[in-house]
Amino acid sequence: MITVTQLNSLDSEQANQWFVQVCTAQGWCNKMVNSMPYADKASIIKTATDHWAEMQETDFLEAFQGHPMIGDINTLREKYANTKALASNEQSGTANASEQTLNKLHEANHEYLNKNGFIFIICASGLSANTMLVALTQRLANTREKEIEIAAQEQLKISLLRIDKAVMM
């Protein structure tokens, strides 16, 4: 947790490190740092949304790389330790999933990755593994272009959730 005052008092490098925990797209992080100081949490959220709207496909793909594959426990633990503080419990819906559901998620995730070239992105907070599996299965039918659009919207939801969770009034 951080207050707006504390966030505003970070130097550029520290602020960048904080924003990378929210979203790993460096262009977005740079814009967020350059927009400091912030008046309140609402202004951080508005600025985050506005800057995300300015991002391009390469930024989206960079942000997607900052996420573990849904249900991949090894990836959750190892590869993305830098977002652990703000991302904790985002995939808690997979914790109690059956082995069958986890296997189906694994298979569908790899099918999605092979088709689109990036992992399936969904704001998983509060969703069960079955709900995520249904969404993943439905989205497999979309074009890559449509999936980039949807995944970018989901990434924004995740980023805003992380900001809301981490910034105290």
Q: What residues does each domain of the chain span?
A: 2-61, 67-161
Q: Which class in CATH covers the domain with range 67-161?
A: mainly alpha
CATH tag for 2-61 (out of 3.40.50.300, 1.10.3330.10, 3.30.450.20, 1.20.80.10)? 1.10.3330.10
Compute how many other C-beta atoms are within 10 angstroms of the C-beta atom of residue 34: 10
Active-site residue set: 67
Question: 2-61 and 67-161 share one CATH topology?
Answer: yes
pLDDT bin (cut points 50, 70, 90) of residue 88 is very low
Weakest mean pLDDT among 45-54, 65-74, 79-88, 97-106: 79-88
Residue with tokens 């074009």: 143
List pLDDT tens digits, range 20-51: 999 999 999 999 999 999 999 999 999 999 99
**What pLDDT is attached to residue 102?**
85
Mean pLDDT of 105-131: 94
- pTM score, two decimals? 0.86
Distance (Å) of CA 145 to CA 5, 51, 127: 39, 20, 25
